[in-house]
Structure 1
C-alpha cells in the first residue's frame, strides 16, 4: 500500500474527502518528522512509538576494492510496534 492507497482507503471508511484526509496525513507526518528531528519521540498507545536511535561509528569495507573505511556515528529514525499492533499482525 502506498500513500495514495492509504488516503483513498481512509476517505472511503471515514466519509471525508480525499483532500481533507491528505491534509491530515501530511500534517501527521510533518509533526512526527519535526518531533524526531528535535530529539523527541511520538508514542501512540497500542500502535507504537516513533523514536530516534544512535548508531555507533564503525569500520567497514568498500565492496569494490576491499579497502577499510570509517563509518561515522549517526542518528536514525526507528519504530517500535505496540502490543495491539503486534497482536493484530499475528
Structure 2
C-alpha cells in the first residue's frame, strides 16, 4: 500500500472527501517526520515505534573500482514492530 492508496482507503472507510483524507494522512506523516527530526521517538501502541539511529562515518571501498572512499556519519530511521502487530502477522 502506498500513500495515495492509504488516503483513498481512509476516505472510503470514514466517508470523508479525498481532500480531507489527504490532509489527515499528510499531517500524520509530517508530524512523525518532525518528531524524528527533533530526536524524539514515535510510538504507536499496537503497531510499533520509530526512532533515529546514528551511524558513525567509516572508510569504505567502491566495489566496482576498488577505490577507497570516506562514508560520512548519518542518521537513519528505524522501525520496530509492536507486539500486537507481530502477533497479528503470525496468527
TM-score scaled to structure 2, two decimals? 0.89
RMSD over aligned Cα atoms: 1.2
Match for residue 48 of structure 2?
A: 48
Deviations 1:51-83 (A, max 9, x none): 100112222111231012121221111111111
Distance 1:81 1:59 in 2: 32
Name structure 2 gaps, 5 residues minimum: none
CA offset at residue 18 of structure 1? 1.4
Q: Paired residues, what number?
A: 90
Distance 2:56 2:49 in 1: 21
Distance 1:4 1:35 in 2: 23
Name structure 1 gaps, 5 residues minimum: none
4+ residue runs over 3 A deviation: none
TM-score scaled to structure 1, two decimals? 0.90
